[in-house]
Amino acid sequence: MSAVTSDAQSLMIDGRRVWLVMAQVQYTDIPRALWRARIRAARQAGFNCIGTTVPWHLHEPVRGHFQFKNELDLARFIQLISEEGLFCVLRAGPYAGVEFEGGGLPAWLNGLPGMKLREANRPFLDAVARWYGSFMDQIRPLQTATERETRGAGGPVVLVQVEHQWRCHHPAQAATYLGELIRFLREDGCLVPLIEANNCWQDVEGAFSTWQGGENLAANMRQFRTVQQMPPAQQFPLLISELTVPASATTGSAGRRNAGAMLEAVAQALAVGAQFCLVGHNAPATAWPARVKPLLMFASQFGQLLAHLHADHGHVALLPASGNGSDGADHPLSIVHQHGTQGDVVFLLRSERDKADHADVLMPDGQSLRVPLGEDRATWLAFNVNLAGVATLTYSNLRPLAFVDRRLLVLSGPAGAAGVVCIDDASIDVTVPTGNLPAVLKLDGLTLAVLNEAQAQATIATNGSVVIGVSAIDEQDQPVAASGFKFATLLAADGTTKKYATQGAAQGKRAGRGKAGQSKSSPRLAAWTTASAAALVDGSSTDYREVEPSTSLDALDPSAAAGWYRLSLKAKTTGKLLAPHWADRVSVFSRGKLLARLGEAGTLVREPFAMQAGGDVTLLATVADRIR
């Protein structure tokens, strides 16, 4: 059978090391029609793994009635991840986090006798056991680890998280409650490693610990590794299951600061050998800050280098200065060095006040290497890197970005900077280009491409090539222009280049400007009106359509939080309105006026209501469990 194992350095799939560069993409927040686009956007931004939460309250809004179709088709979402060539990490709950209504716990739990949430309480555990069973029915064949009889038919799921932020130092409850959750998942066929996200408040046997946060990661993750010393059979790599930092797609000062904070956090995590899940985006690829993309690309493309770094060889380093000034670290530059069997990685982390354009690094053989720093606060270098047996990158003062098709090595640096690249102990002097075209050199069995920072931020690595000057490649495989680029350049692994026209060529600084600096080509808001609900209330709307009697709102749209019904009654009808099948609340309107509201949240509507009306009666059904 296929197996997912781990040690202190990385996960291993059938013995091959993998390095997770994960983005949180929440399928329940995105229309199904956009799932693939969001997954592809994450891949193009440099990620190789998708993390997502499976919210219990949406999949079981009514006790015993599970929903996994249409907008809640979890299996289809995971299949799309697999088709895009990415890994997947799932958070199974039962608690999902404060961003979900009720923390993701179904409202009907509160009506069960003797219920105590999130502890070793039999009514709660019984409900969770049924939830986990239904969840595993969806993902069992989609795990990377598979039983022998399904070998070769596995999917992208490599980890499953149990609970979420169970920060209660209660060893007895941890052993009974968390221990029971782990047992449920294992008995239901979960074969991949299980993780928890409790930030050391409570460990539990059978699940590996992960960290959550976004500040002072270099120090916090080193401390986390120290307190998590485990026997070899129980070791797990450093994983930040939620790396949360401010994020913005804007181009103003706030957007630049947020992009810088994200870059700093990711750099600190990688500098100390931590994998991560970056949260905060469900947006298209253009919304991932461009400044962060080169570092994400490096982490994915050079995953084998990072996965082979020695976990127990942390060198002394100056504490990196934090953007918020915490811990008092105010020195201009820190250097963090990691050594491994596939090569070394060095991170240079700058403070906000450091305005130097270069740093002189002393290498192990006594030579000095002048490293151009550019505009960003993080610079990364690689030494003695095994390039898939083709060559060795002995050193360079430029940042490694990608190694494509075992032939194309891509590096980047500030425009106009003097670069040096040493391949197999032979040094080559290069100048970082200042225009929109890369500098390409053909070496013996290897193609070297050098990009400037603007090009690196507008580059996407594909199978066998890289595309420069784009913010995305759409679902029709057409390049979408990045700001400041009028065309895209496809650089093949053999060193040949080809220009392509792009969609929506960005105007950048060349664009004409209207009032307040607005681009003349920017869309403008024309005359607009608000949509009135009056036609829905009085029944005159043409949006109503006939449905079969007793058709539920759930059957019409499982993801809907509310919906309208229109009943046509005979003239002068007098009687009682009974609604035994509607969940939550129903508002009754006649002749455009509200007559009554029936039902309370979490209960069935059973109250009889006497009325006298003719013509159309309209009803607004609201499903509170689905309102996030």
Amino acid at 18: V
Peptide bond just before 232 cis, omega within 30 deg? no
Which of the listed ranges 104-113, 546-555, 586-595 does the model predict with the highest average pLDDT? 104-113
Decide if pLDDT at 606 tops 60.
no
Which of the listed ranges 152-161, 388-397, 603-612 does the model predict with the highest average pLDDT? 388-397
Selected residue with higher pLDDT from 516 and 371: 371
Split at pLDDT 50, 70, 90, the class of 509 is very low
* Rounded-to-integer distance, Cα 263 and Cα 244, Å: 12
Q: What is the largest CA-CA distance in the chain?
A: 99
* Rounded-to-integer distance, Cα 171 and Cα 120, Å: 12
Split at pLDDT 50, 70, 90, the class of 589 is confident
Split at pLDDT 50, 70, 90, the class of 573 is low
What length is written for the chain?
Answer: 628
Mean pLDDT calculated for residue range 380-388: 96
Please give the full DSSP string across 266-308, using - where no structure is assigned. HHHHHHTT-EEEEES--S-GGGS-TTTHHHHHHHHHTHHHHHT
| H/E element, 186 | helix 179-187
The two tokens of residue 319 are: 């504490």
Split at pLDDT 50, 70, 90, the class of 65 is very high
Give the C-alpha distances (Å, rounded to integers) separating 23 from 178, 209, 276, 405. 26, 19, 8, 24
Split at pLDDT 50, 70, 90, the class of 311 is confident
* Rounded-to-integer distance, Cα 57 and Cα 63, Å: 10
Selected residue with higher pLDDT from 445 and 570: 445
- 90: nearest Cα among 132, 153, 58: 132
Mean pLDDT calculated for residue range 344-370: 92
Show Cβ contacts of residue 414 under 8 Å, excluding neighbours closer than 6 positions.
357, 372, 373, 374, 375, 432, 452, 453
Selected residue with higher pLDDT from 510 and 241: 241
According to the model, what pLDDT value does residue 575 have?
Answer: 64
Buried b (16+ CB within 10 A) or exposed e, 488-504: bbbbbbebeeeeeebee
According to the model, what pLDDT value does residue 221 have?
Answer: 92
Mean pLDDT calculated for residue range 501-525: 47
**Three-state secondary structure call for residue 17:** strand
Phi, psi dihedral angles at 358 (to 5 degrees): -160, 165
According to the model, what pLDDT value does residue 347 have?
Answer: 97
User: Do 496 and 489 form a contact (C-beta atoms < 8 A)?
Assistant: no
Per residue in 453-486, pLDDT tens? 999 999 999 888 999 999 998 888 888 889 889 8
**Three-state secondary structure call for residue 117:** coil
Please give the full DSSP string across 322-372, using - where no structure is assigned. PTT-GGG---SEEEEEEEETTEEEEEEEE-TT---SEEEEE-TTS-EEEEE
Selected residue with higher pLDDT from 23 and 260: 23
Please report, rounded to a whole number, the percentage of residues in the chain having pLDDT higher than 90. 57
Sign, Cα dihedral of 300, 143, 213, 306: negative
Decide if pLDDT at 249 tops 50.
no
According to the model, what pLDDT value does residue 84 have?
Answer: 95
Decide if pLDDT at 624 tops 70.
no
Residue with tokens 């040690």: 7
* Average pLDDT of the chain, as a whole number: 84
**Three-state secondary structure call for residue 130:** helix
Please give the full DSSP string across 65-93, using - where no structure is assigned. B---SGGG-HHHHHHHHHHTT-EEEEE--
- 218: nearest Cα among 347, 375, 330: 347
The two tokens of residue 566 are: 């229109």
Decide if pLDDT at 552 tops 50.
yes
Give the C-alpha distances (Å, rounded to integers) separating 368 from 34, 339, 371, 413. 50, 19, 9, 18
Mean pLDDT calculated for residue range 116-145: 96
Single pTM value for the model: 0.79
Residue with tokens 């949430």: 117
First and final C-alpha spacing in the chain: 40
Per residue in 332-342, pLDDT tens? 899 999 999 99
The least confident of 178-192, 255-269, 276-290, 409-423 is 276-290
